[in-house]
């Protein structure tokens, strides 16, 4: 199996997407699977306003690969919505399309970036 193009330690090149956003998943529409997934988040994503429908299109060379990819992306979005965890989204302005949804575990990244040691609500972690 070939190595993944991007890993956790390898940043994606800037040209790979138009924007990056972090938000909570507020709506999830799986009826278009396995071709694509429509979902909503609580923050602006690129040129899309908070609450606008975003689209994740299945990726892969074969039908089986696309089905597995769609299921994996759906599971990330569903886990984020169910556990009320933020996702990091990378996407394109054209068609409000998302390329890489990633679940953010806890608030540790937020705390490090703000150097406060406090959670998002101002409470000590």
Reported as a single tens digit per residue, the pLDDT across 102-123 is 888 765 444 445 444 444 444 4
Query: Could you name the CATH architecture of 18-114?
Result: Beta Barrel (2.40)
Closest CA to 54 of 1, 3, 95, 14: 95
Mean pLDDT of 83-88: 93
pLDDT for 7-36, tens place per residue? 445 555 555 788 899 999 999 999 999 899
pTM of the full structure: 0.70
pLDDT in tens, 53-74: 999 999 999 999 999 999 999 9
Burial annotation 25-61 (CB, 10 A radius, 16+ → b, else e): beeeeeeebbebbbbbbeeebbebeeeeebbbbbeee
For residues 97-108, one letter each, b for 16 or more C-beta atoms within 10 angstroms of the residue's C-beta and e for the rest, the string is bbebbeeeeebe
DSSP state of 48: B
- Across-strand partners of 98? 56, 91
CB 80 within 8 A of CB 86: yes
């Amino acid at each position: 199996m070939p190595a993944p193009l991007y890993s956790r330690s390898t940043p994606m090149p800037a040209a790979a997407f138009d924007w990056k956003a972090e938000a909570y998943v507020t709506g999830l529409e799986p009826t278009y699977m396995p071709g694509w997934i429509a979902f909503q988040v609580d923050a602006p994503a690129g040129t899309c306003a908070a609450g606008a429908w975003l689209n994740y299109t299945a990726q892969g060379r074969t039908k089986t690969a696309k089905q597995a990819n769609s299921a994996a992306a759906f599971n990330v979005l569903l886990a984020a919505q169910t556990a009320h965890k933020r996702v990091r989204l990378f996407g394109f302005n054209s068609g409000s399309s998302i390329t890489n949804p990633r679940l953010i575990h806890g608030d540790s990244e937020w705390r490090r970036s703000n150097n406060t040691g406090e959670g998002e609500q101002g409470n000590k972690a």
